[in-house]
Structures are given as structure tokens and as C-alpha cells.
Amino acid sequence: MRIPVGSDSLKAFPFLTYNESFISYRGGRQPLKHLLQVVVEQHTFLPRDFVGGDSALDFLNTVTGRDQSPRDWLDSYARLIEWAALAKLFPQDVLWRLTKEAKREPAAAMRALTGAKTFREQSFALLANIISGRSPSKDALRLLREQWLAGVSSFELRFEGSRVVKDFSGEVDLDSITRMIGYRIVENVLTSPIERLRMCQGPNCSWLFIDTSKGGRRRWCDMAVCGNAAKSRRFYARTGGLFGDLSS
Ligand SMILES: [Zn+2]
């Protein structure tokens, strides 16, 4: 599967490919010369990994450094559940049930993880295209629709007081995390003002976030990380390295 993730206005964005054993990114302009292999690495998720403004974007941000040295932090289905717990995607008892199911059916859990990653990359491509003013692919829209509709069916409607409220049904299977991300992309992310959807401009990052700042000028996923790194690089470039590379 190959997914174009073009973005002239932001940065020369790579293409991404999956096959059975690895995921790789290909630079869009010189495809064969820029093959960036994604390294799947162990990562303990921390609150600082949740800066997207919605857990759907935080999920897409479980690959970091897509522009230079991509690292995929979902090294197992158990890690996906660990991520979902920190994201508060489901109540804890639901996550316990998913944990048990994954232990009982490891092959099915692995398939679900692969499905989650496929959806993650299609959705990243979809949003990266929208951010850069391009049309998302029909395939990405079709997959998003599938997951969104499946996510909708995870809710029940109840009348309380004078209004209808949505309740999570509590019924889950190994693909429920993916469905909930699809639901949130449509309901929460794509309903945000498009001009507030951003990709971090920091080096080796490419995280997505919703800019909710008052002035609407947020450029970095995290000023303390990517903002300072970019400033150090500019300083290094301006001074010709006279004072050393402060970003390292
Ligand atoms: Zn960043």
C-alpha cells in the first residue's frame, strides 16, 4: 500500500509504504533516493505525548519524525492499550477486557494492531493533505467513513432531562480503539476550523495538532521541544556554527 502525503506549503513530504515486514517512507520528489525506514521502537507513553488537542490526533502522533527519521511507538497491542489508557479513550474496565482478549487471542490482536496502523497512516495522509490544501484520497475517505460509522454504532442514545445524550455502549472488541479514533476524527477533528489544524514545523517531528491558542499562531507541537530546537537551528545557521550547534 502506498499513500501520498504531499505538502508543498509545509515541507516536502514523503510517501509512505507498508509491506508485510516493514513500513517505509519515500520522498515524493525523488522517490527512490529517499527511502526512510520506520523504526518500531519501545516507548513508554507520557502525558507530554498528548499535545494534539484531541486523542485522535495524539493517536496519529504515535509515529514521530515522519519527515526525517520516522519512529513508530506502537510496538505491540499491549502498547496500544497503554496508549488508550493514557488517552482516556475508554473506561478502565473496558481496557481490562481488551487486555484479556488480546492475551487470549494474540494473533487476532496482532491483526488488529496492523489494522490500527493502516488506518493511522491513511488518516495522517488525509489530514496532511487537507492541511496543505490538497484533496485527500478517495481510499482514505472511504476507510475513514467505515471506521466512523463503526464508531457511531458504539454509542447508544438516551433521553435525559430535556435532551438526548450519547452513551458508550461498553461493547468492545480488538478493533474498537481504531473505530473510536475514526469516530473522533470525523466528530472532533474535522469539525474544527480547518485553518486551526496544523502540522508541527519543528525538525524531525510532523506531529499534528489543533491550534486552540487565542492568536492562532501556534507552530510547534511543544514550544519547549520543537520550538527551541528550530530556534537553535536558525541560530546555528545565522552564526555559521560559531557558537556550536545548540540543538544537539
Ligand atoms: Zn514538534
Q: Would the pLDDT of 17 be above 60?
A: no
CA of 172 to the centre of ligand 1 (A): 33
Q: How far is the CA of 47 from the centre of ligand 1 (A)?
A: 15
For residues 206 and 244, membership in a common domain is answered with no
Which CATH number covers residue 196? 1.10.3300.10
Q: List the helix and strand counts (H, then E) for the chain.
A: 7, 11
Bridge partner list, 72: 40, 63
Looking at the domain assignment, is residue 5 inside a domain?
no
Per-residue pLDDT, 227: 82
What distance in angstroms lies between residue 174's CA and the mean position of ligand 1's atoms?
A: 30
* Identity of residue 215: G
Query: What integer pLDDT is reported at residue 234 of this predicted model?
Result: 64
- Sorting pLDDT into bands at 50, 70 and 90, what band is 207? very high
In a shared domain, residues 173 and 228: no
Q: How far is the CA of 232 from the centre of ligand 1 (A)?
A: 14
Give the total number of structural domains in the chain. 2
Whether 232 and 194 share a structural domain? no
235 shares its domain with 114? no
- Tens-digit pLDDT profile for residues 173-201: 999 999 999 999 999 999 999 999 999 99
Q: Quote the pTM value.
A: 0.82
pLDDT band at 68 (very low <50, low <70, confident <90, very high): confident
188 in a domain, yes or no?
yes
Question: Residue 241: pLDDT band by 50, 70, 90 thresholds?
Answer: low
| Poorest-pLDDT segment among 67-76, 124-133, 158-167, 229-238 | 229-238
In a shared domain, residues 132 and 232: no
166 and 137 co-located in one domain: yes
Domain-embedded: residue 196 = yes
Claim to verify: residue 157 and residue 125 sit in the same structural domain: yes
Give distance in angstroms: CA of 111 to centre of ligand 1. 30
Q: Which long-range contacts (CB under 8 A, 24 or more apart) does 165-174 make?
A: 168/90, 168/91, 170/91, 170/94, 172/90, 172/94, 172/97, 172/98, 173/101, 174/77, 174/98, 174/101, 174/102, 174/105, 174/108, 174/109, 174/111, 174/112
| Gap from CA of 220 to ligand 1 centroid (Å) | 5
Is residue 112 in a domain?
A: yes
CA of 194 to the centre of ligand 1 (A): 19
What's the pLDDT at 237?
63
The reply to whether 155 and 229 lie within a common domain is no
Q: Both 122 and 190 in a single domain? A: yes
Query: Which pLDDT does position 30 carry in this prediction?
Result: 34
**pLDDT (mean) for 128-136:** 94
Same domain, 95 and 204: yes
Report pLDDT for 62. Answer: 97
**Structural domain containing residue 170:** 43-64+75-217
Ligand 1 centroid–CA 246 distance in Å is: 17
pLDDT at 84: 98
